[in-house]
Amino acid sequence: MREMIKMVVVLTVLSAFSGGLLAAIKNGTQDQIENQQLKFVKGPAITAIFEGASNDPLADRFKLKADGREISFFVGTFDGRANAVAFESFGKGYGGELGVMVGVNLTDDKIVGVGITTHSETPGVGSRAKSEPGFAAQFKGQSIKQAFKVKLDGGQVDAVSGATFTSRGVSAALSDAGKVYQDLKPQLADKIKSFTK
Amino acid sequence: MAKTIVQEFTKGLWDEIPPFRLVLGLCPTLAVTKSVENGIGMGVAFTFVLLCSNILVSALRKVIPPKVRIACFIIIIATFVTVVELLMQAYTYKLFLQLGIFIPLIVVNCIVLGRAEAFASKKGIAASFADAMGMGIGFTLALTALAAFREILGAGTFTLGNIAGWILSLVGIGTLDLWSSPLQVFGPSFQPFQFMIEAPGAFVCLGLMLCIMNLFKK
């Protein structure tokens, strides 16, 4: 019996100590981890989308709630006016979740640029959606207020050859982004004013 | 025959160097040694976990009940692995992305559990510290050697990476920029021997390394 109690006590104390330590370290590194993810995962896509912007889109950001999740919006300033936002949307690719960063101009609701952030697609097939600039470039200048579909499904999107699933995922993410954008547009327009300097 | 602290340390560097002599912990050894940077990164993460778990297991060896010792060891090891994972995510994010799943897999690395069970749970803290240092450095050296072999032949480059590059630049050899970018070993006309970078190449390289080690042993 004594042995039994000792076992329970040792395991409990050990687990509690471990939990405490991990919680403390997680708290301590949270901001730093978020910064690193911004820099290495979302950063390249955002910088590419807002090429030529006069501000630092990674620094000028705010958060809004939509569909029960918090979305980060990055602000792009062109010609001295903050008039574009970029945010991440997700779709289902061939190998799992697919993150798509999409930049939208608030003045005319048109897409400024699209970039893939995270994906687990097949290297050399689905991954070309990220590495081939032509695929993402076709969305530039299109209205965000439409449903995106690949040509095979009767839509307008040129799929990456051999990667229909991936292209569908990107299209779904964009359609979804369009919905979020239209829902939040009044708030976005309001928030973004404070970024014009 | 009791070994001295120094012997406990040096045995991990040659006599019992983990991947080659003990032939343990082969999963990360084969998988991450595509570049020297990954090899060193994995080695450092592994050494940290082994050091912390060995010291803690040794310190608690009289408290831990024998019947639940494995559970206790795994809790200790898993805690430090998660610590490493968080720290790498926060400070060496690129390396963290490259090593991926192999960082959390240190939990089930049989060298770490093996040292806890076979060594730290029976010996004092100082000896366990020396043992972990020796094993950790031996593992890092082995991974670095294997990675250098594979990277130089398979890609024609040599990437020391940020961690080792930072240490070398502190000592005054080269600069951080020089070491953290890939160095071309053979020049531009080199055709990479891609097989070495792929998984079967890892097995062949490991076999050759074992062969060389055995030659020296004789």
Model pLDDT for residues B153-163, shown as the tens digit of each residue: 888 888 888 77
From residue A80, how far is each of A95, A106, A112, B49, B146 by CA, in Å?
41, 14, 16, 51, 54
Nearest to A14 among B75, B83, B89 (CB): B75
Across the interface, whether the CB atoms of A36 and B89 are under 8 A apart is answered yes
pLDDT for B1:
46
Nearest to A29 among B64, B65, B90 (CB): B90
Chain A residue closest in CA terms to B92: A36
From residue B8, how far is each of A93, B24, B117, B156 by CA, in Å?
51, 18, 16, 37
Return d(Cα A89, Cα B61) in angstroms, integer: 50
Which residues are CB-neighbours of A29 under 8 A, at least 6 positions away? B86, B87, B89, B90
What's the predicted TM-score (pTM) here? 0.77
Is A39 near chain B, with CB under 8 Å?
A: yes
Return d(Cα A41, Cα A35) in angstroms, integer: 10
Angle at B130 between CA B126 and CA B136, to 5 degrees: 140
The helix, strand and coil proportions of chain A, stated in percent and rounded to the nearest 5, come to: 45, 25, 30
Cβ distance B31 to B39 under 8 Å? no
Across the interface, whether the CB atoms of A32 and B91 are under 8 A apart is answered yes
Is B105 near chain A, with CB under 8 Å?
A: no
Determine the angle formed by the axes of helices B161-171 and B36-59, rounding to 10 degrees: 90
Nearest to B68 among A7, A32, A33 (CB): A7
Phi, psi of A86 (to 5 degrees): -125, 140
Nearest to B87 among A7, A18, A29 (CB): A29
pLDDT tens-digit profile, chain A (197 residues): 888 999 999 999 999 999 999 999 999 998 898 888 888 878 888 888 888 777 877 777 888 887 777 888 888 888 777 788 888 888 887 878 888 888 888 888 888 888 888 887 777 777 778 877 788 878 888 888 788 888 778 777 888 877 888 888 888 888 888 888 888 888 888 877 777 76
pLDDT for A57:
79
Chain A residue closest in CA terms to B76: A18
Q: How far B4 CA lies from chain A's nearest CA (Å)?
A: 31
Count CB pairs under 8 A between chains A and B: 52
Is B62 near chain A, with CB under 8 Å?
A: no
From residue A163, how far is each of A123, A137, A147, A149, A178 by CA, in Å?
11, 17, 20, 14, 23
Q: Supply A31's token pair.
A: 């901001």
Is A14 near chain B, with CB under 8 Å?
A: yes
Which residues are CB-neighbours of A77 under 8 A, at least 6 positions away? A53, A54, A55, A60, A83, A84, A195, A196, A197
Is A131 near chain B, with CB under 8 Å?
A: no
Mutate which of B93, B94, B197 to disrupt the A interface (most A C-beta within 10 Å)? B93
Across the interface, whether the CB atoms of B76 and A18 are under 8 A apart is answered yes
Chain A residue closest in CA terms to B72: A11
Query: Per-residue pLDDT tens for B184-206?
Result: 888 778 888 888 888 888 999 99
pLDDT for B86:
93
CA B168 to chain centre: 19
Across the interface, whether the CB atoms of A3 and B65 are under 8 A apart is answered yes
Cβ distance B20 to B142 under 8 Å? yes
Does ipTM come in above 0.85?
A: no
Q: How far B193 CA lies from chain A's nearest CA (Å)?
A: 20
Q: Which residue ranges make up each domain of chain B?
A: 5-217
